[in-house]
Structure 1
Amino acid sequence: MQSLHAFFAQHHPLQATTLQQVAALFSPATLPKNHFFVRDGDIARNMAFLESGIVRGFYRKDNGEEFNKVLFSAPSFIGDYASLISGRPAQVSQQALTDAHIWVADYRQVTLLYETCPDLERFARKWAESIFVQKEQREIELTSLDAASRYHNFRKAFPDVEQQISQYHIASWLGISPSHLSRIRRKIAGA
């Protein structure tokens, strides 16, 4: 729970009373490798603080091919935000790529605190804004950078992830095939 407190402090400090109320809503849990936090088609009800581990958000195309839309590495929040706020079924599954330690809370209970804890609501707004900026940057990179540049940016953004997850998941996040990623890696190693 200490890492959750530090995470809040890093983005927008919360008052001690707010931290106590928020902390009371979260319960520790484990998310074993390959297990799902949310599946497409589910209506998301819970959010979680990812204290350790790596989780992917992905969707399946009609042909069954998977595309990793987002990678979450600790510390971060996970949960299908679109489903949480809309009440509609999730379109993106979230699956642990490593064993993960999480703190789970009912999203609605957290948002009910906004009325009495404006510092929490401010944190949520700032967090949502930062996610928006990251999402926009990722979309720009996918359309304007070549695969080698995207891989370079991946390594900067996720310095410890590459050794923990399969090449397939990295390639999927980059929007390329695993063989293309292998060629990029060989080229970098030979340089």
Structure 2
Amino acid sequence: MKETDLPYLKNTVSDLPLMTDDAIKDQFLSTGQIRKHKKGDLIIVAGQDSYEPSILLSGLIRVFFLNVEGVDVTNLFIFENTYYGSDFLTMKKASVCSFEALEDCVSLVLDRQVLNETLQNNIHVLLDYTRILEQSLNNKILRENALITKSATERYLDLKKTYPHIEKRVSQTHIASYLGITPVSLSRIRRVIREEN
């Protein structure tokens, strides 16, 4: 990593978990690598690539898988200042999902060994890491619950509440896939909401 990148990166990641201690932040930044991906690039291919502990600094990533019929299903959107690969940050294990850059992306890839050693030697970083995992698990449970207990309209409104500008950044096809509906159904839901308002 270039020395000139460090002040920008320190400022960008300073509020993130794992990065609250200056010495540890410096260690993660000095051993990490900046990785760039163009819109449309596959960052991780399911079954082929392992997760690398990363922070998305800019851009937007879609996580998806193919169901038994071979249909592309969006599982997650990763926005700026978010760790990704959080379920396998410390393990070198093949991903079960593919990751696609929906915009030009810049990520900070952390050194897995440095992260592991820091987690073993610093209780504060370990607690931050635990909170990241708990938040990831909580989001997964809430999403699964919503797919079972909420209507498509409720899921759409929840998504818009969580990410108010998502429709400016994500195609209707990917949003519909995430909601578990067709793009035609999503158009119908949006039309009904507009007419009601």
TM over 0.5: yes
- Counterpart secondary structure, 2:146: helix
Displacement, 1:30? 1.5
Match in the other structure for 1:93: 98
Match in the other structure for 1:47: 53
Q: Which runs of 5+ in 1 are unaligned?
A: none
Displacement, 1:45? 4.6
Deviations 1:157-188 (A, max 9, x none): 11122111110000000010000000001111
Match in the other structure for 1:3: 12
Give the count of matched residue pairs.
Answer: 187
For residue 106 of structure 1, what is the amino acid of its counterpart? D
- 1:29 and 2:35 are equivalent in the alignment: yes
**Distance in 1, Cα, partners of 2:180 & 2:113:** 34
Displacement, 1:80? 6.7
Equivalent residues in 2 for 1:6-155, closer than 5 Å: 6-8=15-17, 14-79=20-85, 81-82=87-88, 85=90, 87-155=92-160
- 1:164 and 2:151 are equivalent in the alignment: no
| Contact in 2 for aligned 1:98/1:165 (Cα 8 Å) | no
- Counterpart secondary structure, 2:194: helix
Match in the other structure for 2:5: none
**Distance in 2, Cα, partners of 1:112 & 1:168:** 42
Q: Percent sequence identity over matched residues?
A: 24
Q: TM-score, normalised by structure 2?
A: 0.87
Higher relative contact order (CA 8 A, sep 6+): 1
For residue 15 of structure 2, what is the amino acid of its counterpart? A
Deviations 1:38-79 (A, max 9, x none): 110124151211112111111012322011111111121122
| Contact in 2 for aligned 1:38/1:80 (Cα 8 Å) | no
RMSD: 1.8
- Counterpart secondary structure, 2:14: helix
**Distance in 1, Cα, partners of 2:19 & 2:91:** 27
Q: TM-score, normalised by structure 1?
A: 0.89
Q: Which runs of 5+ in 2 are unaligned?
A: 1-8
Displacement, 1:15? 2.1
Displacement, 1:23? 1.9
Task: Call closer, same or farther: CA 1:22–1:86 in 2, change over 3 Å.
Answer: closer
**Distance in 2, Cα, partners of 1:108 & 1:59:** 28
- Counterpart secondary structure, 2:173: helix
**Distance in 1, Cα, partners of 2:193 & 2:50:** 41
Deviations 1:134-158 (A, max 9, x none): 1111111110000000000000111
Displacement, 1:130? 1.0
